[in-house]
């Protein structure tokens, strides 16, 4: 996820651009850049690091003019380097592009453009767009060149484009990445989100997929890629500035819960075809090594550790690789006996968790290969690992991890399919089914988010309870742990996650009419019937049963006080769907209690001490 902002105005826009970028910094802070058009020349300043650091070095306010755009980067293609910072330009330094998204066919396009004599400067997917437009320009109008170029592009983009020889026009385009057009007085704007330009205008147009916008200081025109002009509704935004920071959500945690369909789609983008997972190059580990792995050790803390437990389940069940999941904080204090054919996998949202870094360094002492599953490009964990698979959740600001968790599960799922294929533990049709299953997840997640009535009702009824128990089995036992952790973190209510059958070995003593018991009970052939039995045991003792079950299930609703439904999916994917109602329940309960949800007491987003 990156942020883009652009302005064309009758006045100097440098301060407004700088403020716009500051508002967008939550979307990425690997590098930042700005571009102005002055006297048929592009003027660009950029650098690695956060906006204030780069601004101190390059002084963005030395750039000025009536038309400009800025970008803050969350790296996906190409490392965190100045060369890879946006804006990117064509060969003649006449076309400048800022981009948020992923160009899936960039390698083919790059090869084709190099064949035509174009010279590339960066490793990014974005740069191909500047050269492609250059290629399509040749005497054409600039908007036609942009349209023709974008017809060749596959993938997601929100784009800002400036032309040195058209110093009065700002062009924008969108496909599957957010972009709004702000309509001002004597000036017009483009931005990745509404809040970044809300102090200048409340009038917004939401671009739809495969539309381009041509803006001058006092006009705007929206076209589809065939060049037909489109009539668009102008929305008047009523949010307060504070609400706007969170795109209208009350807290970042809620915003991030709702971002999950998008985050999973981004995580899958360009990594799956109908029949296989395209992952090997990214991982930086050879096929021979991956085929020969004898054992996997997963190292992680907190929510990432819960993702690891689900990963263990997938890797053992489907890729048939013996896997252990270690608390990173404990790993250093025991003798792990790792051999050279082991792979150590560190899972971390931040990539900066001190315990996970220490465990990874410890694993490296055994000479094993290491892989990071991480959300932050260039973070410490990614730098010390042999290979990296990035989750593409975008910046997670709420302390309680939500979208990082579900994207970690998506990456573990892809890793499992890739290993299963290499090791021939799954056949082609099984792999196809698994890929078809995860393709549906973004839409299925959206439907879970759209049906939150029962969750809200449970929060209303039980927010003042002192304790609660979360129970699940098999692949969904870690979801019980995660649901309980979410509730503890943000509401400060004591909650325990347990394997459903273990309950009768102790915790069952706690059950009475005041104890909410959350069951994760999706309809599968492995654990469902047993979980039904466990629900009966709680019911017989008067506990309050809240169950997460599969749409169409007739049995669970007969026994539970409340049933929250999730769509039917593969057993290995049920966890991604089942966790979402539990995230929402924790959020709504904490909100009823008036907790400081995004910054719960005693917690930090990255725990950088051991």
599 is an interface residue for ligand M6R by CB under 6 A: no
- The two structure tokens encoding residue 457: 């009702």
Rounded Cα gap, residues 548 and 560, in angstroms = 10
560, 545 contact by CB (below 8 A): yes
Annotated catalytic residue 2: yes
Which tokens is 548 given?
């997460």
Residues 6+ positions from 525 with CB-CB distance below 8 Å: 571
Report the nearest approach of ligand M6R to the CB of residue 311 (Å).
13
* Contact status: 350 vs ligand M6R (CB under 6 A): yes
In angstroms, what is the minimal distance from the CB of 173 to ligand M6R?
A: 34
Q: H/E element holding 210?
A: none
- Work out whether 348 is an interface residue with ligand M6R (CB under 6 A): yes
Beta strands in 228-382 (DSSP E): 235-236, 295-300, 323-327, 342-348, 369-374
Q: How far is the CB of 400 from ligand M6R (least distance, A)?
A: 4
**Are 451 and 565 spatial neighbours (Cβ–Cβ below 8 Å)?**
yes
Q: Which of 152, 230, 440, 605 is catalytic?
A: 605
Whole-number Cα distances in Å, 22 to 5, 54, 429: 10, 12, 48
Instruction: Judge whether 30 and 74 are in contact, CB under 8 Å.
Output: yes
DSSP assignment letter at 234:
P
Count of residues touching ligand M6R (by CB under 6 A): 16
Q: Give me the residue label for tokens 């019937």.
A: 529
**Which positions from 507 to 546 touch ligand M6R by CB under 6 A, shown as an x/- string?**
----------------------------------------
For residues 72 and 63, what is the distance between their CA atoms, to the nearest angstrom?
17
Within a 10 A sphere around the Cβ of 52, how many other Cβ atoms?
A: 12
Residue of the chain from 84, 124, 353, 534 that contacts ligand M6R (CB under 6 A): 353
Enter the tokens of residue 536.
């009966």
Strand order, beta sheet including 323-327: 323-327, 295-300, 342-348, 369-374, 387-390
Question: Has 592 been annotated as catalytic?
Answer: no
Of 203 and 605, the one with the shorter C-beta distance to ligand M6R is 605
Q: Interacting stretch for ligand M6R, rule CB under 6 A, among 183-191, 342-350, 365-373, 549-557?
A: 342-350
Give the x-and-dash track for 473-492 against ligand M6R (CB under 6 A). Answer: ----------------x---
Q: Which stretch binds ligand M6R (CB under 6 A): 430-438, 447-455, 535-543, 601-609?
A: 601-609
Instruction: Return the closest-CA partner of residue 266 out of 431, 406, 391.
Output: 391
Number of residue whose CB is nearest ligand M6R: 302
Q: Which two tokens stand for residue 589?
A: 């309960």
- Look up residue 176 and give its DSSP letter: B
Q: Which range touches ligand M6R (CB under 6 A), out of 176-184, 298-306, 448-456, 582-590?
A: 298-306
> Is residue 303 close enough to count as binding ligand M6R by CB under 6 A?
yes
Q: Kindly write out the interface string for residues 379-418 of this chain, putting x where it contacts ligand M6R by CB under 6 A and - elsewhere.
A: --------------------xxx-----------------
Cα–Cα distance between 285 and 299 in angstroms, integer? Answer: 18
Q: Is 329 in the site for ligand M6R (CB under 6 A)?
A: no
Catalytic residue chosen out of the listed positions 2, 35, 301, 374: 2
Whose Cβ is closer to ligand M6R: residue 224's or residue 606's?
606
Choosing from 76, 245, 304, 407, the residue that interacts with ligand M6R (CB under 6 A) is 304
Question: Please, what is the minimum distance in Å from the beta carbon of residue 404 to ligand M6R?
Answer: 6
Catalytic residues: 2, 605
**Where on the chain is the footprint of ligand M6R (CB under 6 A)?**
301-304, 348-350, 353, 356, 399-401, 489, 603, 606-607
């Amino acid at each position: 996820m990156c942020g883009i902002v652009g302005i064309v105005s009758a006045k100097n826009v440098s301060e407004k651009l700088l403020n716009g970028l500051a508002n967008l910094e939550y979307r990425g802070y690997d590098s930042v850049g700005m571009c102005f058009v002055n006297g048929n020349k592009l003027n660009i300043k950029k650098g690695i690091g956060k906006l204030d650091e780069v601004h101190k070095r390059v002084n963005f306010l030395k750039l000025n003019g009536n038309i400009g755009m800025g970008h803050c980067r969350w790296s996906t293609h190409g490392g965190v380097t100045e060369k890879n910072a946006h804006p990117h330009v064509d060969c003649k330094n006449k076309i400048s592009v800022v981009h948020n998204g992923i160009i899936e066919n960039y390698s083919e396009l790059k090869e084709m453009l190099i064949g035509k004599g174009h010279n590339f400067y960066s490793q990014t997917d974005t740069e191909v767009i500047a050269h492609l437009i250059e290629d399509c320009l040749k005497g054409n109008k600039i908007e036609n060149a942009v349209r023709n170029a974008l017809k060749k592009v596959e993938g997601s983009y929100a784009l800002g484009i400036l032309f040195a020889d058209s110093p009065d026009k700002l062009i924008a385009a969108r496909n599957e990445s957010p972009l709004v057009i702000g309509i001002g007085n004597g000036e017009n704007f483009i931005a990745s989100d509404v809040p970044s330009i809300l102090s200048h205008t409340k009038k917004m147009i939401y671009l739809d997929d495969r539309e381009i916008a041509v803006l001058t200081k006092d006009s705007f025109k929206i076209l589809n890629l065939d060049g037909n002009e489109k009539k668009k509704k102008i929305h008047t935004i009523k949010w307060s500035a504070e609400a706007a920071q969170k795109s209208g959500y009350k807290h970042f945690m809620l915003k991030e819960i709702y971002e999950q369909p998008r985050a999973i789609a981004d995580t899958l983008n360009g990594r799956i075809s109908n029949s296989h997972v395209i992952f090997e190059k990214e991982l930086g580990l050879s096929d021979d090594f991956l085929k020969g792995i004898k054992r996997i050790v997963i190292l992680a803390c907190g929510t990432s550790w819960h993702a690891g437990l689900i990963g263990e389940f997938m890797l053992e069940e489907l890729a048939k690789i013996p896997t252990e999941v270690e608390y990173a904080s404990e790993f250093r204090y025991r003798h792990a006996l790792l051999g050279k054919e082991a792979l150590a996998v560190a899972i971390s949202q931040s990539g900066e968790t001190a315990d996970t870094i220490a465990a990874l360094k410890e694993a490296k002492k055994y000479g094993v290969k290491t892989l990071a599953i991480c959300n932050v490009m260039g973070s410490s964990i990614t730098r010390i690992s042999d290979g990296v698979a990035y989750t593409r959740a975008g910046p997670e600001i709420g302390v309680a991890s939500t979208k990082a968790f579900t994207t970690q599960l998506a990456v573990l799922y892809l890793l499992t399919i890739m290993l299963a294929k290499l090791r021939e533990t799954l056949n082609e049709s099984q792999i196809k089914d698994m890929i078809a299953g995860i393709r549906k997840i973004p839409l299925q997640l959206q439907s879970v988010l759209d049906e939150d009535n029962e969750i809200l009702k449970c929060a209303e009824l039980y927010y003042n309870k002192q304790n609660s128990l979360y129970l699940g089995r098999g692949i969904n036992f870690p979801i019980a742990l995660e649901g309980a952790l979410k509730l503890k973190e943000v509401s400060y209510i004591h909650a325990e996650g347990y394997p459903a059958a273990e309950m009768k070995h102790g915790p069952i003593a706690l059950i009475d009419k005041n104890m909410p018991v959350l069951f994760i009970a999706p309809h599968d052939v492995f654990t469902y019937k047993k979980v039904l039995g466990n629900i009966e045991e709680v019911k017989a003792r008067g506990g309050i049963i809240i169950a997460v079950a599969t749409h169409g299930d007739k049995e669970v609703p007969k026994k539970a006080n409340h049933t929250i439904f999730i769509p039917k999916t593969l057993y290995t994917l049920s966890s991604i769907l089942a966790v979402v109602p539990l995230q929402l329940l924790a959020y709504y309960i904490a909100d009823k209690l008036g907790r400081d949800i995004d910054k719960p007491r005693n917690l930090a987003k990255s725990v950088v001490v051991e």
